[in-house]
Chains A and B, each alone.
Chain A
């Protein structure tokens, strides 16, 4: 077993048994669920909206090369620069070099999962640059020195009391647990960061090809300050973010908001595509876009799972996932947790190291049902498992076990005989009182559950004895 898998198993067992965590997440997701029910009800036909979004994203992905070049040329025409980064290293180097060139000491950063994916903040901090997370949730987890717990609501795992404690310790002398006072304290701290930053980094929710604009949605307006105030603005986005046309936002924006938070539309939706124009009074002097591949092209080449690139990072599958709710976002130890992360991470970071995530699912399908762009998430987990057996290291014991299973199910009398022997042995062992003890062969089951009452006779035996089976 890989170290990542061992860590996952250990942390999952701890978190799953943490009843306070379970309750905090349940409360949070209950709020989300009722908001999303209202959000979807605003659509005349939610299914049709999903299908429309799926079609738009498919168009974008199927013609990715063309749309990206269109996007680039429009940005260039406005005086912006586009850098194509093959991997995280290239992206980090480009951004660090840009910061060095302009003597950047402070960066205001709005939420970007791609930045988490390439560990950008740590890299910049390593160069002596101060990076301020300006999304409130991200700001909170940054103060706690931990990664985001969730791709949309990064501090979902924290209670108001915990945040009050944190602010008291880190922001100096703030003694309140009133939410509006806490927000005011964060705002005061962040305003200083916004006004001192020489460079603003944002993500992008969509890259609009026909206009060469990056669409950025936030509920706090923090990205807008990061776009407007610093001298340099850099957009960091995965190549899969491209959509064909501006008009596509008319459906993508409300669908993203409905699935992400249940809102009719996110509070601030901004389109940016270049430096300050000749007759404009605000905006950056320089505008850069970093388009990150980092394994996405390989996924694009896989017709079975290409649609995973349709993801709009709304977080709906995380919220719907009973595994996520029990193990929590940090247990995954990946930039993208939850079902989308379990499907995607093996493609980005290697199947061998991250195959366990595809097995850590009951395959219930709640994620697929929740996905606003209809990605067949739980079936992709099955495909990842198949790929793990063919291409990665599965335990030898497991491989042998399934060979034996295949053989024992290969004949009805064989199956009936072995079933009988198995039950006989289990009864004999349990007769010795080992059920639920450390030497119980069914320990992984009986640690948490009683074994079923074993029937004296199988169905087939009863059928043979008395064809009527009354």
Chain B
């Protein structure tokens, strides 16, 4: 059985662990043995994005160490995957691990990217009889160039009605520390996103990225909207045997 190592973003580990559980179930269903390198913590993105490259660098080196023996790494976040694949080479340029930093990017995959491009499956045997709209997470879309992969997976789900919202590629406004440093701007962007999603009359907003969903969910519940968010992994984990989606 081929093996994959889970890369669970720190905030998913602490705040939304069900996403990791659901992703594990899907990966096993399509025939992978799943491991979880327990020494993992954070990829370093919050510090890197805030300009604290010296504080982020040891965490990047730590990540390289923890995942050194993993042949394939799968992550339920386009953003954390981007940190490793796109930004590690820049963060570790000129450092001892520069070559390794360039190399690991070829082994780390965002979850939907992994399923479609590596495992070569689009139908994972899921069932989710709901009206769903997909939000293009910025890092997944513009750094990893994933546009069709998550949609292909969703379209193959039984019972799903996948609808496009207007401006699906517009940022939700999360942006890490931006969401609290510039909370008014971030919230205005989130409200715009939630409004666009509402126009699609979907019951659920899904995405590759739990951080976008954190933001969108926060806005929706603050406004007492009936619309819910759900990670793509949690949709793909539904087989129709276990009852409700939430």
Interface residues of A (CB under 8 A from B): 9, 12-13, 16-17, 22, 322-323, 326-327, 359-366, 368-369, 382, 384-390, 394, 398-399, 402-403, 405-406, 409-412, 415, 419, 422-423, 444-445, 447-452, 454-455, 457-460, 462-464, 469-470
Nearest CB to that of B39 among chain A residues?
A412
Nearest 8 interchain pairs by C-beta:
A362-B175, A449-B218, A385-B51, A448-B187, A364-B171, A459-B17, A450-B221, A389-B51
Q: How far is the CA of A389 from the CA of B55 in the complex (A)?
A: 11
Name the one of A326, A409, A411, A450 contacting B189, with C-beta atoms under 8 angstroms. A326
Flag if B15 contacts A326 (CB, 8 Å). no
Flag if B15 contacts A449 (CB, 8 Å). no
Known contacts A415-B41, A445-B179; 13 further A-B pairs (Cβ under 8 A) = A363-B176, A366-B169, A382-B48, A382-B49, A389-B53, A410-B41, A419-B13, A444-B179, A452-B16, A452-B218, A463-B38, A464-B38, A470-B25
Q: How far is the CA of A360 from the CA of B182 in the complex (A)?
A: 7
Flag if A362 contacts B41 (CB, 8 Å). no
B52, B139, B170 — most chain A CB neighbours (10 Å)? B52
Flag if B59 contacts A409 (CB, 8 Å). yes
Q: How far is the CA of A364 from the CA of B211 in the complex (A)?
A: 13
Residues of B within 8 A of A362 (CB): 138, 171, 173-176, 178-179, 186, 189
Q: How far is the CA of A297 from the CA of B112 in the complex (A)?
A: 45
B142 within 8 A of A: yes
Flag if B188 contacts A17 (CB, 8 Å). yes
Nearest CB to that of A363 among chain B residues?
B175
Flag if A364 contacts B138 (CB, 8 Å). yes
Nearest CB to that of A451 among chain B residues?
B218
Name the one of B24, B46, B62 contacting A405, with C-beta atoms under 8 angstroms. B46
B5 within 8 A of A: no
Q: How far is the CA of A18 from the CA of B47 in the complex (A)?
A: 32
Total cross-chain contacts (CB, 8 A)? 191
Residues of B within 8 A of A470 (CB): 25
Flag if B173 contacts A368 (CB, 8 Å). no
B184 within 8 A of A: yes
1/0 per residue, CB under 8 A from A, across B50-67: the answer is: 111111101100100000
| A59–chain B nearest beta-carbon distance, Å | 26
B185 within 8 A of A: yes
Flag if B55 contacts A405 (CB, 8 Å). yes
Flag if A460 contacts B138 (CB, 8 Å). no
Name the one of A365, A368, A423, A448 contacting B222, with C-beta atoms under 8 angstroms. A448
Name the one of A389, A410, A422 contacting B52, with C-beta atoms under 8 angstroms. A389
Name the one of B13, B142, B143 contacting A459, with C-beta atoms under 8 angstroms. B13
Q: How far is the CA of A409 from the CA of B12 in the complex (A)?
A: 14
Flag if A455 contacts B58 (CB, 8 Å). no
Q: How far is the CA of A134 from the CA of B143 in the complex (A)?
A: 42
Flag if B17 contacts A445 (CB, 8 Å). no
Contact residues of B between 47 and 93, Cβ < 8 Å to A: 47-56, 58-59, 62
